[in-house]
Amino acid sequence: MNFNKNKLKKFSLNVLLIFALMASSIIFSACDILEKDTRLQVHFIDVDQGDSTLIISPNGRTMLIDAGDNSKGSEVISYLKRKGISKIDILIGTHPDADHIGGLDDVIEAFEIGEFYLPRKSHTTNTFESVLLAAKSKNLSIKEGYADRELDYDENIKLKILSPIKSKDYGSDNNLYSIVVKLDYNQASFLFMGDAEYKNEYDMLASDYSLKSDVVKLGHHGSHSSTSPELLNAVMPSAAIVSCGYKNKYSHPHKEVLDLLETSSIPLYRTDEQGDIIFRTDGKTITANTEPGSYTYRKYK
């Protein structure tokens, strides 16, 4: 899988063109033009310390994995609306922690939702309860996300949940119930780890499903509780993502993970340093809107 840097330049030119158009006309917005892109899009939305990932298929089918903390719901809604989205075909709350499901109640209220998946793990927080109430008020049934379940997303796209194992008791740790999703589109593949930890990774490695992926969103914001050398060796990604807040109190991503990526020569994209990170692919070549190690975004924080 090649990351085509020439396409990056083209993207920048497109942005310039868009600004020129915006200056001369209010009929076209930047997003209208961008959304004519018929490639698969994966947006790692910058929600500070938390996760929110938007996926738009070439046919315009939409999927949202998590919606950041409670305070980020409106930002996620705005992001999706700027893309012209009115319906989320598949909505996934990876696990009941607030930095993942906090904004889901607002999202559920704001959009038509096709299918809604949560893991089999409840939580006693108001945040979790408000997600359940939002789903109930929309008569939206909650489907259980567990390993081996395949989701019907779009033609030519295979979407499979790899964790948690349905019958397994992981105790009280919410992270261990994280829904992990693998997406395959022709030759391009993405792995979304949620906050899954070593224990989940070893379960995934013990299964016979191929973990090889071009792009991986690392588990638990790059914490050393996730991303074992064994997992990275099986995934063999061309790029890794950490979704985390700038100077977050957990010191994510942790040094162990950064060192492992460096020794494995895997480029790392970070939402705290680069803002929204967007990948586009025709199923053969993957392009990104930014380059790993570019810190320009941070200057504006």
Q: How far is the CB of 225 from Zn ion (least distance, A)?
A: 11
Q: How far is the CB of 221 from Zn ion (least distance, A)?
A: 6
Contact residue for Zn ion among 154, 195, 197, 214 (CB under 5 A): 195
Contacts of range 260-266, beta carbons closer than 8 Å, 24 or more positions apart: 260/227, 260/229, 260/232, 261/232, 264/232, 266/232, 266/237, 266/238, 266/239, 266/240
Contact residue for Zn ion among 99, 105, 197, 203 (CB under 5 A): 99
Interacting stretch for Zn ion, rule CB under 5 A, among 17-25, 79-87, 193-201, 277-285? 193-201
69 touching Zn ion, by CB under 5 A: no
Give me the 146-185 binding string for Zn ion, x by CB under 5 A, dash otherwise. Answer: ----------------------------------------
Interacting stretch for Zn ion, rule CB under 5 A, among 92-100, 185-193, 236-244, 276-284? 92-100
CA 143 from centroid of its chain's CA atoms = 19
C-beta separation of 122 from 128 below 8 A: yes
Closest CA to 175 of 211, 223, 241: 223
Closest CA to 68 of 97, 42, 90: 97
Interacting stretch for Zn ion, rule CB under 5 A, among 31-39, 91-99, 163-171, 182-190? 91-99
Interacting stretch for Zn ion, rule CB under 5 A, among 32-40, 52-60, 136-144, 195-203? 195-203
Q: List Cβ neighbours of 6 (8 Å cut-off, separation of 6 or more).
A: none
Count the Cβ atoms, other than its own, within 10 Å of residue 278.
17
- 99/214 with CB nearer Zn ion: 99
**Residue listed under structure tokens 């607002």:** 106
Distance CA 62, CA 47 (A): 19
- 29/248 with CB nearer Zn ion: 248
75 touching Zn ion, by CB under 5 A: no
- 99/273 with CB nearer Zn ion: 99
DSSP 168-191: ---TT-GGGGPPEEEEEETTEEEE
- 58/194 with CB nearer Zn ion: 194
CA 141 from centroid of its chain's CA atoms = 22
48 touching Zn ion, by CB under 5 A: no
- 182/217 with CB nearer Zn ion: 217
Between the CA of residue 29 and those of 26, 81, 105, what are the distances in Å?
7, 12, 28
Closest CA to 32 of 18, 43, 45, 42: 18
Q: How far is the CB of 195 from Zn ion (least distance, A)?
A: 4
Q: How far is the CB of 241 from Zn ion (least distance, A)?
A: 13
- 46/195 with CB nearer Zn ion: 195
The angle at the Cα of 133, spanning 78 to 72, to the nearest 5 degrees, equals: 25
- 195/197 with CB nearer Zn ion: 195
- 189/223 with CB nearer Zn ion: 223
Q: How many residues bind Zn ion (CB under 5 A)?
A: 2
List residues near Zn ion by CB under 5 A: 99, 195
